[in-house]
């Protein structure tokens, strides 16, 4: 009996040990506050962009914003953003033209054709490609791919849209390949075996069974790729130059929205000038573009997912 | 498949030759596809090989002890990147603790305390959307909040905090997965021994989840060390001759220096070689960090 009383006392003492119980109550609140940092960051991004973009849109009429004349540093500055949107769309299109076919076929190979052993060596090597900093790709595009393309494409300028587009596409291949591969790998084997038992070849199984079943994940990977391409900065800053003309000629220099932000902040845009506020206006448009793409990707993969 | 009565074919009603040709075609296309798909996988790896050999050959001649120990100079032959390396290291000394502390405690909250309610799903959604925001936007956030509002300028602290917010989602996602993978019987055993929730987290869950958390943190840091755009937007200066000594100093980092040297190749072609040499240093650092992450994952990850 003595012993049990002893333990009861000890338990009581422990509970009354204020310090420990305080910690127990305080910790959840501390963790909750750190979790709020992410929400605060999002609010911070939206608020800084909207507040300064508002000052821009209050001073610049919309007809000027959606014009084709971009000359922020001229004596009579004009802020038409269409050249930037045009540059962004063209370079992203080139990138996706490289990333979609190669990324998808690589995903098919890894998921359907490769042996387990080969898959385990090839997939991590693909991921190395995703880990290389974009500044390195920028250097590669400017000092290697552009001179190489000059031999093939006549009239290609030192800064052009083609070379960063291609290199950006190569950068996005691992993203498309790994997400599409995940989608295809999660198609149950029973479906493949059913088609194979009916006499299909692997190629027919892939295109008639696996891809239709995994299509939501595959499309989502494309959309995420587009979002990456739109937000990509250093490759275009280095290899695509800063021409502000509206052109559809991919051998010419073009500027994207991201490149405009980088060029202008490293320039002499003082705080409070119209040029300074234009950064945030472009930033806001860029943010909305990529956010919509990301939400679209989430929606597609959730809405059209086939459950097996 | 045509069904015909062929006088040459007495065995059945199918045109055997046509059938065999069709099957041969289908098998041929399958084999062809196998090769084409393999080639497109190899294409990505080929580009990787070209990229690395090309940069290696251009930069290795310029890489020397003097280059690593020297200071920046406008003369390419005399330029060194000691101050730049220190800048990157100090930047990481801000990013590392801040990101790991915030990331891990966010993950603990989401996995252990939040429950499966609306708050949890709202925070998770926010974090996954944050992961998709372009890095240049984080630069604008840093410029407004840290550089201007808190008056930190383009110091290491401002750059480090901006970078921390950028890579935070990586640490949160990795830590959540690591915590979720801790088997519930360990948790139950700890509670059964009378341990409180915080004691269980501190002494049972975190130690078991540590390899996963560390792997994720190293991957986040390796993303941060190569990230350029936010720092450029923050206004990190071009030519810093002094080696930064405190986190309030101005600094430059490896990717920034690569950027400026690449831009200046128009004026001084040798700068391209310096940029290549700096890229080699950056890639070696990244390689080492990733190797450490893989070693940690393979060696300390216990399977239950």
pLDDT digits (tens, 9 = 90+) for B3-53: 555 455 555 667 888 889 999 999 999 999 999 999 999 998 999 999 999
3-state secondary structure of B81: coil
**pLDDT recorded at residue A18:** 64
pLDDT more than 90, % of chain A = 50
ipTM of predicted assembly, 2 dp: 0.88
Picking from B93, B45, B50, B59, the residue whose alpha carbon sits closest to that of residue B281 is B59
Q: Which segments of chain A are extended strands (E)?
A: 70-71, 78-79
Which tokens is A279 given?
């950064």
* pLDDT score, position B81: 82
Of A143, A174, A283, the CB nearest to B140: A283
- Please state, rounded to an integer, the average pLDDT across all residues of chain A: 87
Q: Are residues A11 and A159 located together in one domain of the fold?
A: no
3-state secondary structure of B155: strand
Token look-up 């060029």 returns A263
Within-domain flag for A270: yes
Do residue A77 and residue A43 come from a single domain? no
Does B83 have pLDDT greater than 70? Answer: yes
Cβ-defined contact of A39 to B122 (cutoff 8 Å):
yes
Q: What are phi and psi of A70, to 5 degrees?
A: -120, 110
Query: Among A257-261, A280-284, B245-249, which stretch is predicted with the lowest mean pLDDT?
Result: B245-249
Model pLDDT, residue B185: 92
Q: Which residues of A touch B126 (CB under 8 A)?
A: 38-39, 42
B95 CB-near residues (< 8 Å, 6+ apart): B160, B163, B164, B167, B221, B224
Q: Kindly state the tokens that stand for B124.
A: 């998770």
CATH number of A147's domain? 1.10.3720.10
Same domain? A194 vs A258? yes
> B 188-207 residues with CB below 8 A of A?
196-198
Together in a domain, A284 and A212: yes
In order of A85, A147, A304, B109, the CA distances from A163 in angstroms are 18, 9, 35, 45
Across the interface, whether the CB atoms of A31 and B109 are under 8 A apart is answered yes
| pLDDT 10s digits, A45-95 | 999 999 989 988 888 888 877 877 777 776 677 788 888 999 999 999 999
Q: Which residue has the higher pLDDT, A117 or A246?
A: A117
Query: Do A263 and A164 fall into the same domain?
Result: yes
Q: What is the mean pLDDT of residues B46-61?
A: 91
What tokens appear for A52 in the block? Answer: 């300064």
Structural contact between residues A188 and A210, judged by C-beta atoms closer than 8 angstroms: no
Average pLDDT over residues B134-162: 89
In a domain, A65, yes or no: no
Same structural domain, A171 and A291: yes
- Give the residue from B121, B168, B129 showing the smallest Cα distance to A297: B129
**pLDDT at position A101:** 95
Is A205 in the same domain as A94? Answer: yes
Tell me: do A21 and A170 sit in the same domain. Answer: no
The share of chain B scoring above pLDDT 70, in percent, equals 93
Q: Rounded to whole angstroms, how far apart are CA atoms A137 and A42?
A: 29
Q: What pLDDT score was predicted for residue B240? A: 61
Residue B215 vs residue A10, higher pLDDT:
B215
Specify the higher pLDDT residue, A11 or B190.
B190
Range in A6-10, A98-102, A222-226 with the lowest mean pLDDT: A6-10
Chain-chain contact of A291 with B113 (C-beta, under 8 angstroms): no
Backbone dihedral angles phi then psi of residue B3, each to the nearest 5 degrees: -105, 115
Whether the pLDDT of residue B214 is over 70: the answer is yes
Please provide residue A61's backbone torsions phi and psi, each rounded to the nearest 5 degrees. -65, 150
Provide the CA A248 distance to its chain's centre, in angstroms: 24
Residue numbers of the domain that contains A32: 2-59
* CB of B292 less than 8 A from some CB of A: no
Residue A308 lies in a domain: no
Residue B133's SS3 state is: coil
| CA A153/CA A162 separation, integer angstroms | 10
Between CA A11 and CA B35 the distance in angstroms is: 71
Q: In terms of domains, do A51 and A166 share one? A: no
Asked if residues B152 and B249 have their Cβ atoms less than 8 Å apart, the reply is: no
Chain B CB contacts of A280 below 8 Å: 140
At residue B120 the predicted structure's pLDDT band, cuts being 50, 70 and 90, is: confident
Give the residue on A whose Cα is nearest the Cα of B144. A48
- Whether residue B16 lies within 8 A of chain A, CB to CB, comes out as no
Cα A172–Cα A177–Cα A183 angle in degrees, nearest 5? 130
Among A39, A59, A79, the domain boundary falls at A59
Query: Is residue A54 included in any domain, yes or no?
Result: yes
- The answer to whether residues A29 and A165 belong to one domain is no
Examine the domain organization and report whether A102 and A162 are in the same domain: yes
Instruction: Check: CB of residue B99 under 8 Å from CB of residue A197.
Output: no
Which pLDDT band holds residue A9 (cuts at 50, 70, 90)?
A: confident
Domain count within chain A: 2
- Is-contact B72 B240, C-beta < 8 A? yes
Q: What is the pLDDT of residues A89-126, one digit of tens each?
A: 999 999 999 999 999 999 999 999 999 899 888 888 88
Count helices and strands in chain B by DSSP H and E runs: 12, 0
For B226, name the nearest residue in chain A, comparing CA atoms only: A133
Q: Which A residues 65-124 touch B at CB under 8 Å?
A: 101-102, 105-106, 108-110, 113-114, 122
Please indicate, yes or no, whether residues A54 and A160 belong to a single structural domain of this protein. Answer: no
How close is the nearest chain A Cα to the Cα of B119, in Å?
10
Which residues in chain B are contacts of A52 at CB distance < 8 A?
144
């Amino acid at each position: 009996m003595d012993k049990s009383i002893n333990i009861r006392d000890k338990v009581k003492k422990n509970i009354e040990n204020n310090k420990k119980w305080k910690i127990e109550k305080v910790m959840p609140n501390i963790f909750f506050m750190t979790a709020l940092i992410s929400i605060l960051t999002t609010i911070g991004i939206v608020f800084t962009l909207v507040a300064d973009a508002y000052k821009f849109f209050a001073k610049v009429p919309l007809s000027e914003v959606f014009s084709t004349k971009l000359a922020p540093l001229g004596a009579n500055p004009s802020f038409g953003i269409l050249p930037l949107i045009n540059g962004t769309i063209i370079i992203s299109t080139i990138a996706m033209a490289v990333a979609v076919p190669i990324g998808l076929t690589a995903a098919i190979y890894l998921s359907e054709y490769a042996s387990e052993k080969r898959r385990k060596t090839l997939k991590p090597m693909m991921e190395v490609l995703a880990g290389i900093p974009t500044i390195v790709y920028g250097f590669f595009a400017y000092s290697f791919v552009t001179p190489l393309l000059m031999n093939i494409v006549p009239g290609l300028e030192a800064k052009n849209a083609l070379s960063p587009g291609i290199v950006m596409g190569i950068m996005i291949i691992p993203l498309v390949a790994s997400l599409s591969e995940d989608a295809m790998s999660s198609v149950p084997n029973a479906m493949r075996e059913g088609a194979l038992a009916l006499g299909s070849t692997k190629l027919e199984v892939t295109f008639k069974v696996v891809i239709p079943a995994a299509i939501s994940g595959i499309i989502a990977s494309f959309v995420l790729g587009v979002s990456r391409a739109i937000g990509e900065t250093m490759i275009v800053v280095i290899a695509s130059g800063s021409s502000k003309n509206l052109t559809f000629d991919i051998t010419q220099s073009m500027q994207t929205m991201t490149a405009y932000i980088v060029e202008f902040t490293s320039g002499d845009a003082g705080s409070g000038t119209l040029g300074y506020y234009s950064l945030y206006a472009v930033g806001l448009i860029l943010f909305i573009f990529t956010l919509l793409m990301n939400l679209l990707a989430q929606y597609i993969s959730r809405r059209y997912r086939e459950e097996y | 498949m045509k069904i015909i009565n062929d006088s040459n074919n007495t065995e059945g009603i199918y045109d055997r030759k046509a059938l065999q040709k069709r099957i041969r075609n289908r098998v041929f296309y399958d084999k062809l596809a196998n090769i084409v798909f393999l080639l497109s996988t190899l294409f990505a790896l080929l580009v990787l090989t070209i990229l690395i050999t090309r940069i290696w050959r251009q930069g290795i001649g310029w890489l020397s002890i003097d280059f690593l120990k020297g200071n920046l100079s406008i003369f390419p032959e005399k330029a060194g990147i000691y101050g730049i390396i220190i800048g990157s290291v100090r930047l990481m000394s801000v990013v590392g603790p801040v990101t790991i502390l915030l990331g891990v405690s966010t993950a603990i909250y989401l996995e252990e305390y939040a429950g499966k309610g609306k708050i949890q799903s709202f925070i998770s959604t926010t974090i996954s959307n944050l992961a998709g925001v372009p890095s240049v936007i984080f630069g604008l956030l840093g410029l407004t909040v840290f550089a201007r509002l808190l008056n930190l300028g383009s110091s290491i602290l401002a750059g480090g905090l901006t970078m921390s917010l950028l890579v935070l989602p990586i640490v949160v996602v990795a830590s959540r997965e690591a915590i979720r993978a801790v088997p519930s019987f360990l948790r139950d055993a700890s509670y059964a021994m009378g341990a409180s929730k915080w004691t269980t987290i501190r002494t049972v869950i975190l130690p078991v989840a540590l390899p996963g958390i560390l792997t994720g943190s190293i991957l986040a840091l390796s993303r941060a060390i190569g990230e350029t755009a936010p720092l450029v937007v923050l206004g990190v200066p071009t030519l810093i001759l002094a080696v930064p000594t405190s986190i309030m100093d101005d600094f430059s980092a490896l990717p920034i220096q690569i950027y400026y040297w690449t831009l200046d190749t128009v004026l001084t072609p040798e700068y391209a070689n310096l940029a290549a040499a700096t890229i080699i240093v950056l890639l070696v650092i990244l390689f080492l960090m990733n190797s450490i992450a893989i070693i940690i994952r393979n060696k300390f990850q216990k399977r239950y």
